[in-house]
Amino acid sequence: MLEYQIFFDYTPMLLTGFWLTIKIVVCAIALGIPLGLVLALGRRRNYVIISFLSTSFIELFRNTPFIIQVFLFYYVLPFYGLKLSAEYVGVLALAAFGSAYFAEIIRAGIDAVPKGQLESARAIGMTEWQAMKNIILPQTLTIVIPPLTNQSLTLIKESAILSTITVHELTMSGLMVQGETFRPFEVFIMVALLYWALNETIATIMRKFEQKVKKNRKTSFVLKLDTTLKKSQSIK
């Protein structure tokens, strides 16, 4: 039978770990998406060195297990004089891991926009960065929101691996409670429900954000079309 008293006695301890998980994941995503954008643009550059370095970073972090990356960050960085707490190492490792996937998602989104638009922008005098910023990336946003959301949810689940380097996030808190109570079933039911609640909340927010972006783009397109029609009628 379930021991319901465990839910009441140890919920505060699990919520403390849950809050740390949220902070780590939010910081990792906030670092990972901009880094992913830089890597995606770097991989598309014609400069061999920049493209090579960006591609190498992406392939390294995509093709090695995350737990190995965490161990390398945690145990190797101190040898080079960079001593960080386990929480900061967790943020850096999760951000680096996520950025490799974010980069490929963004690159695929950019490639999905017809190349003629970039060429047309360059033809009227825009630099490549101006064309990217004003024409390509706004169109890329609606394409990449769903896969970016999926990858963000994956990072939340991967954050459980940080318990192996003593980060007291949700999974580590669950293991500590299980060690005190010897009731793994009740403990990991609570842990699973908290992960589910966080992922479902983020997925719902991102679905609404995607709908809002699409609606705004549609409204903007209609306004531009209406303005164009009025100009053409005034010329006639």
Residue 110: the pLDDT is 92
CA distance 215 to 219: 6
User: 43: pLDDT confidence band, cut at 50, 70 and 90?
Assistant: very high
Model confidence pLDDT, tens digit, residues 2-28:
888 888 999 999 999 999 999 999 999
- % the chain with pLDDT above 70: 92
Q: Which domains does the chain carry?
A: 5-235 (1.10.3720.10)
pLDDT attached to residue 228: 46
Q: Is the dihedral of CA 62, 68, 74, 79 positive or negative?
A: negative
User: Whose CA is closest to 203, among 170, 211, 216, 28?
Assistant: 211
Task: Find the distance separating the first CA and the last CA of the chain, reported in whole Å.
Answer: 82
CA–CA separation, 52 vs 179, rounded Å? 47
Which residues have CB under 8 Å from 121's CB, separation 6+? 130, 131, 134, 135
User: d(Cα 130, Cα 233) in Å, to the nearest integer?
Assistant: 31
pLDDT of 218 above 80: no
Tell me: the pLDDT tens digits for 87-132? Answer: 999 999 999 999 999 999 999 999 998 888 888 877 888 888 888 8
pLDDT above 90 covers what percent of the chain?
67
3-state class of 47 per DSSP?
coil
Helices (H), 81-136: 86-112, 115-123, 128-131
> For residue 34, what pLDDT is reported?
96
Q: How far is CA 153 from CA 25, 33, 95, in A?
A: 9, 13, 13
